[in-house]
Structures are given as structure tokens and as C-alpha cells.
Structure 1
Amino acid sequence: MKIIIAGVGKVGSTLTRQLSASGYDITLIDVKQQVLEANVEKYDVMAVLGNCATMETLLQAGVNDADLLIAMTGADELNLLCSMTAHGINPNIHTIARICNPDYTDQVYKMQKTFALSLTVNPEKQAAIEIERLLKFPGFLKRDSFAKGRVEIVELRVDERSRLSNVALSELNRVIKCRVLVCAVLRRGDVVAPDGSFVLREGDRIFVTASTESLATLLDNLGIITKKVNHVMICGGGRVSYYLAQQLEKDGMTVRLIEKDPKHCEELAALLPKTEIINDDASNTFVLKRENLESCDALVTATGMDELNMIISLYGTKHGVSQVITKLGHMENGSMIDQLPIGSTIWPKDLCCNGIVRYIRAMHNQTGAAVSVHSIADGKAEAIEFHVEEKKPYCDKPLKNMKVKQNILVACITHGGVTELPGGDSVIREGDTVVVVTTRNDIIYKLDDIFEA
């Protein structure tokens, strides 16, 4: 498949890394020579210097025979024009555009065909949705939903006081007294697909499959005290903060937002009537004390600087804030960040890339393609959801009689709205939803791919 990525910023670079590693034919377009050279040195890609919205540049990039254009520049208008121009040259091309300005949201949705868009993505809004989900269910570092919200894969850290420390997975249900499945463990930067003899240790990050109804029981039986979030402090007034505050207002939460730019504060105050907007510097500890940080139920650090977000989050953790969420955009060293007590980390670029990867895989297989794709364990594993649309050779046979490929786990099966954490006697039927977790390097395009031939 030939893919053109226009705009090689944070999201564009992440896509380049993921898609080039998967063997796709990638051509990059950007106006910065240095950015293109850096990516050509690291990955097996082609590069074109120029304005991605011009016919000349797109033709030079091979738009005539490209299968997909991904417009990821920092300007919504440029992304729209790029998509329309590409489609004008090649009517068969699929187009994905990054559209972040809230003013365009309804317009782009209603005029998707006019703009020749196959899919639009908004990393900032996706990040805000993920943060809201974490605030609604404090206690987890990350949550990914499957089967229309009936089942989730959640991330937990095993700390020195955890009831899971030094527990073998075969004894897990005795400790937590509810049915869950540990589908992956991240230990010292390495991902492990554990079996029953695997013993959890302090410092492990575990990824647990459970029905949504079991999540509260899981936290309660682990002794993780969760307090309903009513008061939230947000540091930074960017788009993530705007989208988040807008949603938290609807949820009835009290929101206090600190932003340094006075003009931007005025704009936010007009857009967010129920949010308390504070024009000050969130990196100033006096300001945080004055605004009663310690009395807040949650702290969200979402400035444009990763380092500042981490420092404020560290301060919030030290002063006893129950839930801390840190937005990160540029940092790449996950193992270093993993050692810092900065609560849950949100990576807008990764959330955005998950949706794009799912779309690309669906282009390979219009029937049986992944319904959703979630990167877990710092990108070292994937959780993939499939819908069994027709009767297949693997249907109605116990899993113990089927040979599943190495490093692939069937994490859950949903039959008619009832979720099952599978065992050897479980069967997959036509109409089921199936979630698999894989640590393999090859791509799983459809459910058939998980079984040995």
C-alpha cells in the first residue's frame, strides 16, 4: 500500500515510525528540509520538500497512484485543501485529515463529502475524551474500551503496598475475588505475555481484561481507595484543556483552569462560562497553593511543555492530590517516565495514531477487519477487536482444540452482549465480538490471522 503523509510533526513522525515498520510504502511531504532529512535517515521512506496543498508537490509525491493521503500539518485549512486537491487528482484515493479547530467541527462533519474526507482525526479532542474517562473511574492508569463498552483493558501499577505484589497469576482470582485476565505485563521496559506461574513484582505495570461491571470490584478488593471526582484543576489553556473543561462542565464537575496568557484567558472565559479561569503561572507553587491544589480531587497538567507538565504533576503527587494526569507530546523515553510518580500519562499523538492504524488495516480487508486497535504497554503490544461477521472454520470449536499463534492471547469473547473471559472450552461463534492481545511484530489484519494454518 502506498501512503503519503503530509506534515511530519508529532503525529506525522509517530505514524511514519509505525507504518514504515509495518512495511508500507511511505512518502513524506513537509516544508522543512531538516525534518525530512531526519526521518529519511531513521526510516525507509521517500521525502518531498514543498507545500502539500499544491498539485505540483502532490504529483511529485506520487499522488496519482497512492492509496491513502494523511494530512497532518498544524493548519486545518491546509489539511482540507491538501485532501481536496489530492482527491481531485486521484478520485480513488482515501484521505485522512487532522482537524483541530473547534469552529470547524460541525462544518467538517456535515461537509465531509464536499471536502473529500474519508476520516477526520482530532488528537486534542481524543486526549480530552481519554482524560475524562480516567476521571470518571479513578484508580487506573489507562482504560481502553471494547465490545461497545462492555469490556475494558485497564492498566495498573504494582507498588510496594499493592496486594498483587509477589502473587502468582494462578492465585490472582483468590486475591481480588473477581474474574479478570492479565493479558500483558510490562517489567523494566520489556513486555511479557504471562502464564499462570508468572509472579507479579513491585514496579510491574499490568494490563488487565475485565468486564466493565467488574472494575469497581477489582479496585475495591485491591484496596485502592477511589473518591468520586468533583473538583478538577487544569494547568494550561490549550485545546486539550478547552475540550476537557467543556465536557467536565457537562458532567457537573467544578473546574479551575490556570492559563498564563491574559488574552487567551478572556477567550476561554467566553467559551467556558462554568469554568473558573485564572490568569496566572501554573509553574508557580504560590499560585498552586493559593488556588487550593491540595483540596482538589484531580490535577490535569496540559501545558504545551512536557517538562513543565511533569514538574507540576510531581508537585501535585507530593502534596497528596488523589488523581494526577499528565499530558505528554514530545518525550520518547517511556522507561524514564515510567519511574516518575506523575500519575496517568496521556499521549495525544498515540491516541490519534490508533484510529488511523485501524482505518488502514480496514482498507486491507473490508470484511473481517479490526473494529478497533489499541496500542498498550508503551507500544510493545496491541489489543485488537474483531467482529465475527460470518461463520468461519474456527467457529463453534473449543479454543483448546485450536492452535493460536505464539504470543497471541484471546482476551475476551462477547456473545450477544454477555462477555466471557475465555478458557479452553470457550468457543467463538458467528456474531461474536473477540478481543485479542498480541506482542508479535507481524500485523494481525483479521481474526483468521491469529490461528496457525
Structure 2
Amino acid sequence: MKVIILGAGQVGASVAEGLVSEENDITIVDTDGQRLAVLQDKLDLRAVVGNAATPSVLREAGATDADMLIAVTQSDQTNLVACKLAQSVFNIPTRVARLRGQDFLQDATLLAPENFAVDFALCPEQVITDYIQRLIEFPEALQVLNFAKGRVSLVAVRAYEGGLLVGKPIKEMPNLLPPEMDARIAAIFRHNQAVFPDGETHIEHGDEVFLLAAAEHIRPVLRQLRRMMTPVQRIMIAGGGNIGLRLAKALESRYEIKIIEGRKERAEFIANEVEQSLVLLGDATDEELLEQENIAEMDLFLALTNDDEDNIMAGSLAKRLGCKRVLALVNRRAYAEMIEGGPIDIGISPAQVSIGTLLAHVRHGDVAEVHSLRRGAAEALELVAHGDAKTSKVVGRRIEEIPWPDGVTVAAIVRNFDKAVIVGQTDDWTSITRHGEVVITHHDTVIEAGDHVIVFCTRKKLVKKVEQLFQVGFHFF
């Protein structure tokens, strides 16, 4: 596939890295020639220096025969103009834009073909906000991901000494769960190395375990298998930028929120935007300020400024002063890997979190969801099975009959996706309904047409092989 990426920032560079590794023809455009040179030294791609919103630059980048345009510059206006040019001048089939402005995101007609012609709008700030919210709901988790529009949850947790499964084989897990619940350990990482799980695999203290179950079962399953943490009640946010403000507004009705912002004008703006959150003007690395605001009583400290070093310093200080749990946004992947597990409980790479939603629109075959795991080292995919036994390599076949590459786990299937299923009650009158039936897979599970199949790839290079398995033959069309 021939792809043009506009913008060589964190998101653009991460997208380029992900797509180059899958043998796509990539051209990246940016006004910063030095930044492009650094990318060219690392990746096999073309680079064009110039304004992405001009026809001449797009033509130089190969827009006349491109398959996809991904506009992820820092400017909404540049991204929108580029998408319109891609459609009206160059007839590029698929156009993706990064957008921050709520005006464009809330009015779908503005993105329609007759207007700015954006096929898919990506708002990384909202994706990261949603991601952090899930981590707050599961404070014991390292990562929380949803599939099939929330029907299935995948949670990464650290195995601890004394846990019910630690020291035991995985095949004993069903004996620890209520009869009506089923779950699957999709993958294990031990000392940063993937351990392919089967029934005889023993869980060890310190293992990073990826546990998958139906959304209504994931919390009780976790309760059975590991020590649960006290639910979060008090949160301190360092940094009132786009993500910090979005998060505060989303959380303040359920949690006690304090926001530390260093810029006076921004702090005043935030104070007018929130309803219940307390806004503090100051420096999150100021030990005296943190102590005055009772950091030791906080359940969670979120370091969300735009500066990696400030986030690491503020998070480390908050932990030393007694905060129970610390999350920090860290743009540099090397930093995120280095700090996690020390004073910082979770280092979040914004580009790696947001890239999954974009990759789902780039991948071959019918890929409904993509999640980057362990900062891009692994991936979890939700693929829709099409065709029949004659045209598909997976439909009508048992899991054990399909030639999966080594390092691939088929964890679950969501079947009858259009069917509403009652999974619980909020009260005597209100039912909780979700779509589809969750099937935790075993070796003899048969894949049917229309199934949403959730696949875990312990190495990124396996993704292309899995996608090829789900591509249907010519006769299907």
C-alpha cells in the first residue's frame, strides 16, 4: 500500500514506524527537514520537506497514485485542507485526519465528502483520556483494552507472590472461577520475554499476565486471581493541558480532583471550565506544594504535562511523598520503558496508545480493532471472519486446524454480534445489554462467518501473517 503521512511528530513517526515494518511504501511530509532526516536514518521511507496543505508538495509526495493519506500535523486546518485536496485534486481513496477541535469532531457533516472529505477523524487526546479512565477503573492493571465495542476486556496485571495462580499451571484456572465464568490467559511476558501459554505453563511471581474475559466477568475474574487494590477516590493531576482538562471534566462527578497548572492564564481558563475540581496555580515538582495539598492521601497522581522530564520528576516526587499510585505521560519510548516499575507505576506513551485506532483503518482485511501492547512490541487484533470453507482459511475450521504462526494466540470470539444479550441488572427495572455472545476459545472451537476473532500476537511482525489468514479468496466476491 502506498501511504502518505503528513506530520513527523510523535504520532506521525509512530505510524510510519508501524507501517514501514509491514512492507508499505511510505512517504512522510513535514516542514522540519532535520526531523525528517532523523526518521530517514531509522526507517526505510521517503521524506518530503514542505507545507502539507499545498498541491505541489502533495504531488511531490506521490499523491497522484497514493492509496491513503494520513494527516497528523499539529494543525487541524492543515490536516483538513490536505484531506480535501487529496479527495478533489488527487482522488486518494482513503483520508485520515488528526483533529483536536471539538467543532469538527462533533459535527459529522463537516467531515462529509462534500465538505472536508475526512473518512476517519483521530483525536489522540480523547483516545488517551479514555485509556487513562480505564486504568482508573482497574487500579491494579498495567493496561486495560476493550474489543467488540466493549463486549470483551483484556487486562494486563502483574502476578504477585501468594496469588491463587502463582506457582500453578494455567489449566487449574477454571477450578478457581465460578462455573458461569470463563476467561483466558492470552499471553505472558516474563523478564520482557514472551512465554507462549498453554495448560502446563506455570505463572511466576512478577509475570506480566494478559487476561481476557467478557466485560461483565473481567472484574470478578480479577478478584479471584489477584489481590485487588482499593478503589480510587482522590486524584491529583499535574498539567492542565488538553488531556488533563478532558480527564478532569470526565472524572469530577465521581472522584475528588485537584489540578496543578503552572501557567496563570491557563489555570484561570481551567477553573472556568470545570465544575467541582480544585485548580491550583503552581509547579507539580514543588515538594512544599504537594505536601500542603496532602499528596500522601491521594490514591492516584497523574503527571500529564507536555514535558517528559517534568512528568518523571513530579511523579517520582509524588510517590516518595506517599501517593499510592503514579501514572506519567512519557513521549520518549525509551524513557517509558526505563521508568516503569520504579517510582512510576505506569509510563504511558501517547503515540503508542493512540496509534491502534488509526491502524485499524490501515490494515488489510476486515480489522475492527487494533491495540498496541507493551509499547508496540506486541499487538492484539479484532478481525471479522468472512467467506465459507471454500473461500476462507479460517471459516468452518477448528482453531487447531488453522496454521497460526508461532507466537499467536486466538483468545476469544464474539459471535452473533448484532444480537442483544442481557448480561446483568442495574436495578429491578433496568437490564444491562451488550451485543454478541462471548466464546472463550479452545483448540476445538470452530470459527464461523461473521465471528469477531480476538487474536494476540506476541511479536509485531506476526500481524501481517494473521491478516493474510483472514483474507478471503476471489470466489467470495
Name the TM-score, length of structure 1 as normaliser.
Answer: 0.91
Is contact 2:326–2:343 with CA below 8 Å preserved after alignment? no
- Structure 1 position 276, deviation (Å): 1.3
Is contact 2:64–2:92 with CA below 8 Å preserved after alignment? no
**Aligned counterpart, 1:242:** 245
- Structure 1 position 184, deviation (Å): 1.5
Query: CA separation in 2, counterparts of 1:390 and 1:317?
Result: 53
Deviations 1:289-316 (A, max 9, x none): 1112222232211011222222332333
- Match among 381, 384, 404 for residue 384 of structure 1: 381
**Aligned counterpart, 1:424:** 443
> Secondary structure at the residue paired with 1:74?
coil
**Aligned counterpart, 2:23:** 23
Query: CA separation in 2, counterparts of 1:331 and 1:219?
Result: 29
Map residues 45-64 of structure 1 onto 2, 5 A cutoff: 45-64=45-64
Query: CA separation in 1, counterparts of 2:187 and 2:68?
Result: 33
Structure 1 residues 33 and 398: alpha-carbon distance in aligned structure 2, compared to 1, 3 A threshold: closer
Stretch of structure 1 that moved more, 271-280 or 306-315? 306-315
**Aligned counterpart, 1:406:** 406
> Secondary structure at the residue paired with 1:4?
strand
Is contact 2:330–2:336 with CA below 8 Å preserved after alignment? no
Query: CA separation in 2, counterparts of 1:378 and 1:372?
Result: 17
Q: Within the alignment, does 1:179 sit opposite 2:182 as a pair? A: yes
Stretch of structure 1 that moved more, 373-382 or 178-187? 178-187
Stretch of structure 1 that moved more, 440-449 or 142-151? 440-449
Residue type of the partner of 2:111? Q
Q: Within the alignment, does 1:210 sit opposite 2:209 as a pair? A: no
**Aligned counterpart, 1:356:** 358
Stretch of structure 1 that moved more, 199-208 or 277-286? 199-208
Structure 1 residues 223 and 147: alpha-carbon distance in aligned structure 2, compared to 1, 3 A threshold: same
Is contact 1:141–1:345 with CA below 8 Å preserved after alignment? no
Is contact 2:395–2:448 with CA below 8 Å preserved after alignment? yes
**Aligned counterpart, 2:422:** none
Query: CA separation in 1, counterparts of 2:86 and 2:395?
Result: 42
Query: CA separation in 1, counterparts of 2:451 and 2:292?
Result: 53
Stretch of structure 1 that moved more, 320-329 or 28-37? 320-329
Is contact 1:313–1:343 with CA below 8 Å preserved after alignment? no
Runs of 4+ in 1 over 6 A off after TM superposition: none
**Aligned counterpart, 2:316:** 314
Is contact 1:268–1:277 with CA below 8 Å preserved after alignment? yes
Residue type of the partner of 2:221? L
Structure 1 residues 296 and 334: alpha-carbon distance in aligned structure 2, compared to 1, 3 A threshold: closer
Residue type of the partner of 1:112? L
Provide the alpha-carbon RMSD of the alignment. 2.4
**Aligned counterpart, 2:433:** none
Query: CA separation in 1, counterparts of 2:134 and 2:9?
Result: 27
Query: CA separation in 2, counterparts of 1:344 and 1:176?
Result: 28
- Structure 1 position 205, deviation (Å): 1.4
- Match among 172, 190, 193 for residue 190 of structure 1: 193
**Aligned counterpart, 2:467:** 445
Q: Within the alignment, does 1:72 sit opposite 2:72 as a pair? A: yes
Is contact 2:327–2:348 with CA below 8 Å preserved after alignment? yes
Structure 1 residues 257 and 170: alpha-carbon distance in aligned structure 2, compared to 1, 3 A threshold: same
**Aligned counterpart, 2:88:** 88
Structure 1 residues 60 and 260: alpha-carbon distance in aligned structure 2, compared to 1, 3 A threshold: same
> Secondary structure at the residue paired with 2:220?
helix
Map residues 38-187 of structure 1 onto 2, 5 A cutoff: 38-107=38-107, 109-113=108-112, 114-160=115-161, 162-174=163-175, 179-187=182-190
Is contact 1:191–1:380 with CA below 8 Å preserved after alignment? no
Is contact 2:387–2:395 with CA below 8 Å preserved after alignment? no
Residue type of the partner of 1:422? T
Alignment gaps of 5+ in structure 1: none
Stretch of structure 1 that moved more, 194-203 or 230-239? 194-203
Structure 1 residues 39 and 352: alpha-carbon distance in aligned structure 2, compared to 1, 3 A threshold: same
Structure 1 residues 318 and 212: alpha-carbon distance in aligned structure 2, compared to 1, 3 A threshold: farther
Is contact 1:127–1:347 with CA below 8 Å preserved after alignment? no
Residue type of the partner of 1:435? I
Alignment gaps of 5+ in structure 2: 417-435, 473-477
Query: CA separation in 2, counterparts of 1:314 and 1:437?
Result: 33
- Structure 1 position 68, deviation (Å): 1.1
Stretch of structure 1 that moved more, 64-73 or 377-386? 377-386
Query: CA separation in 2, counterparts of 1:334 and 1:184?
Result: 21
Name the TM-score, length of structure 2 as normaliser.
Answer: 0.86
Residue type of the partner of 2:216? E
Is contact 2:238–2:261 with CA below 8 Å preserved after alignment? yes
Query: CA separation in 2, counterparts of 1:7 and 1:230?
Result: 39
Query: CA separation in 2, counterparts of 1:165 and 1:191?
Result: 17
> Secondary structure at the residue paired with 2:361?
helix
Structure 1 residues 324 and 215: alpha-carbon distance in aligned structure 2, compared to 1, 3 A threshold: farther
- Structure 1 position 86, deviation (Å): 2.5
Structure 1 residues 319 and 197: alpha-carbon distance in aligned structure 2, compared to 1, 3 A threshold: farther
- Structure 1 position 144, deviation (Å): 0.8
Is contact 1:191–1:377 with CA below 8 Å preserved after alignment? no
- Structure 1 position 160, deviation (Å): 4.6
Query: CA separation in 1, counterparts of 2:183 and 2:331?
Result: 32
Q: Within the alignment, does 1:434 sit opposite 2:456 as a pair? A: no
- Structure 1 position 222, deviation (Å): 3.6
> Secondary structure at the residue paired with 2:312?
helix
**Aligned counterpart, 2:202:** 199
Q: Within the alignment, does 1:342 sit opposite 2:336 as a pair? A: no
Percentage identity across paired residues of the two chains: 29
Is contact 1:185–1:194 with CA below 8 Å preserved after alignment? yes
Is contact 2:290–2:318 with CA below 8 Å preserved after alignment? no
Query: CA separation in 1, counterparts of 2:191 and 2:175?
Result: 26
Is contact 1:370–1:446 with CA below 8 Å preserved after alignment? no
> Secondary structure at the residue paired with 1:311?
helix
